[in-house]
């Protein structure tokens, strides 16, 4: 009698089939052949000297992307959520006061993460599509005296690009660390970590960088490191403990690196190549291209009679556009029709914007007039063929 009681699954006896699709949702974005090919290089050991050189390349690329001189700069093995937890878990101890700015889902997520580890969390809240003035932020800093203030630069659930100038200085005035989520904005909109006084900044690999999901660049200022490395208790996560990650990434000044976890070496190859692509184009050129394509796309939407969700033109995120859900239509019908008919992904809202918006992401290589025209044509077709109720 066979010792194997579970038979081989028939579904795994068929070849893998993955369709090509136009990824014009809020992420992930399409991965260019050059970056895919980089990820197909041979696997070598995660502690081999060649991998350490690739990691050093990545660190330099992140410093350029973030516009920072921070030595404590690395890529977490995981998605943007992993970087968010790395930032919060390392800086926040039980009983610490944390302030989150909520104008979409990411402020809500940050608040929940901090609550789970015993922080005293307070939030300032504005309706989806809005943002906070510096005066409102200072009032909250004065009231709650937080150790950490979280803000999403690019709020992908609502399409808001939040102003950053002056906020870092306000945080430092009240002895508070400034944590910024730039997953949806970095590389597509101007951001200067050092000049803007940001203490912790993170992003993801799968948006403007056009790498596969699975690595998350992050950087910590000296002020942040002073708090982190003078904790009274160890961080709740061993995997995300910065003292271990700093050594693995060669950020702690020690002569040798110690095994912490098996780094995703092929993901490192892809991330390194995506940063090289950005370096070749130049940050300012990338910012300018994303802004011009966004404006072109917005004009096309308005010419079709569609309305943009974010009213303030200067606060519109150039990488992820939110469109007011067309009246009389079920947004799911629109996104499903476009996927089926045009092999093209756009999405509905997320968190507080569910049912309110359609979201279109034009990021990295997808930020082009050609891509914008594809989406406009698909939307026009969908509005003509999807059922519209009488309103």
Chain segment 288-327, per-residue pLDDT in tens: 999 999 999 999 999 999 999 999 999 999 999 999 999 9
- What proportion of the chain, given as a percentage, has pLDDT over 70? 99
Q: How far is CA 369 from CA 290, 294, 373, in A?
A: 10, 9, 6
pLDDT value at 27 more than 60: yes
State how far the Cα of 240 lies from the Cα of 83, in Å rounded to an integer. 9
On whether the CB atoms of residues 302 and 319 are closer than 8 A, the answer is: no
Using DSSP, state whether 216 is helix, strand or coil. strand
- Quote the pLDDT of residue 1: 64
* Two tokens, residue 239: 């995997």
State how far the Cα of 171 lies from the Cα of 169, in Å rounded to an integer. 5
pLDDT value at 390 more than 70: no
pLDDT digits (tens, 9 = 90+) for 40-92: 999 999 999 999 999 999 999 999 999 999 999 999 999 999 999 999 999 99
Question: Where do you find CATH 3.40.640.10 in the chain?
Answer: 33-279
Could you tell me the pLDDT band of residue 108, with boundaries at 50, 70 and 90? very high
State how far the Cα of 101 lies from the Cα of 137, in Å rounded to an integer. 8
Q: If you average pLDDT over residues 277-291, what whole number do you get?
A: 98
CATH number attached to the domain at 22-28+283-385: 3.90.1150.10
For the chain, what is the largest distance between any 2 Cα atoms, rounded to a whole number of angstroms?
A: 75
Residue 162: closest CA among 175, 149, 147, 144: 149
pLDDT value at 214 more than 70: yes
Overall fold of domain 33-279: 3.40.640
Phi–psi pair at 366, nearest 5 degrees: -80, -10
pLDDT value at 277 more than 90: yes
Mean pLDDT of the chain: 97
Torsion of CA 361, 363, 366, 372, to 10 degrees: 50
Phi–psi pair at 70, nearest 5 degrees: -55, 130
Question: Where do you find CATH 3.90.1150.10 in the chain?
Answer: 22-28+283-385
pLDDT digits (tens, 9 = 90+) for 143-198: 999 999 999 999 999 999 999 999 999 999 999 999 999 999 999 999 999 999 99
316 is in an annotated binding site: no
Q: If you average pLDDT over residues 273-282, what whole number do you get?
A: 98
Phi–psi pair at 320, nearest 5 degrees: -130, 115
On whether the CB atoms of residues 159 and 136 are closer than 8 A, the answer is: no
- Quote the pLDDT of residue 389: 83
Q: If you average pLDDT over residues 206-215, what whole number do you get?
A: 97
Q: If you average pLDDT over residues 244-257, what whole number do you get?
A: 95
- Quote the pLDDT of residue 193: 98
Could you tell me the pLDDT band of residue 391, with boundaries at 50, 70 and 90? low
Placement of tokens 């994303």 in the chain: 290
- Quote the pLDDT of residue 47: 93
> 131: cis peptide before it, omega within 30°?
no
Could you tell me the pLDDT band of residue 245, with boundaries at 50, 70 and 90? very high
């Amino acid at each position: 009698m066979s010792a194997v009681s579970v038979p081989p699954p028939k579904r795994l006896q068929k070849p893998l089939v993955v369709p090509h699709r136009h990824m014009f949702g809020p992420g992930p974005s399409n991965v260019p052949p050059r970056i895919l090919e980089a990820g197909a290089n041979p696997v070598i050991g995660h502690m081999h000297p060649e991998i350490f050189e690739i990691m050093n390349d990545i660190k330099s690329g992140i410093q350029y992307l973030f516009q920072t001189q921070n030595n404590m700069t690395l890529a977490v093995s995981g998605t943007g959520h992993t970087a968010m937890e790395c930032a919060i878990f390392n800086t926040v101890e039980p009983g610490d006061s944390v302030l989150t700015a909520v104008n979409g889902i990411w402020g809500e997520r940050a608040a929940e993460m901090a609550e789970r580890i015993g922080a005293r969390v307070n939030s300032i809240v504005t309706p989806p599509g809005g943002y906070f003035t510096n005066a409102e932020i200072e009032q909250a800093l004065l009231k709650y005296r937080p150790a950490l203030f979280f803000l999403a630069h690019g709020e992908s659930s609502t399409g808001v690009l939040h102003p950053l100038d002056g906020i870092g200085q306000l945080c430092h005035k009240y002895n508070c660390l400034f944590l910024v989520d730039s997953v949806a904005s970095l590389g597509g909109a101007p951001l200067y970590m050092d000049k803007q006084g940001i203490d912790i900044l993170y992003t993801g690999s799968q948006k403007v960088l056009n790498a596969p999901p699975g690595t998350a660049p992050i950087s910590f200022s000296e002020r942040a490191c002073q708090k982190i490395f003078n904790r009274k208790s160890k961080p709740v996560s061993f995997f995300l403990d910065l003292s271990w990650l700093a050594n693995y990434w060669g950020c702690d000044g020690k002569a040798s690196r110690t095994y912490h976890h098996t780094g995703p070496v092929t993901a490192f190859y892809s991330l390194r190549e995506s940063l090289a692509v950005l370096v070749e184009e130049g940050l300012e050129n990338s910012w300018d291209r994303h802004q011009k394509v966004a404006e072109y796309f917005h004009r096309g939407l308005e010419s079709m009679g569609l309305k943009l969700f974010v009213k303030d033109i200067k606060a519109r995120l150039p990488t992820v556009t939110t469109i007011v859900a067309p009246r009389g239509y079920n947004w799911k019908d629109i996104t499903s029709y476009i996927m089926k008919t045009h092999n093209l992904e756009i999405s509905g809202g997320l968190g507080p914007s569910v049912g309110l918006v359609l979201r279109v992401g034009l990021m990295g290589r997808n930020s082009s007039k050609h891509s914008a025209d594809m989406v406009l044509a698909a939307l026009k077709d969908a509005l003509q063929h999807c059922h519209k109720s009488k309103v």
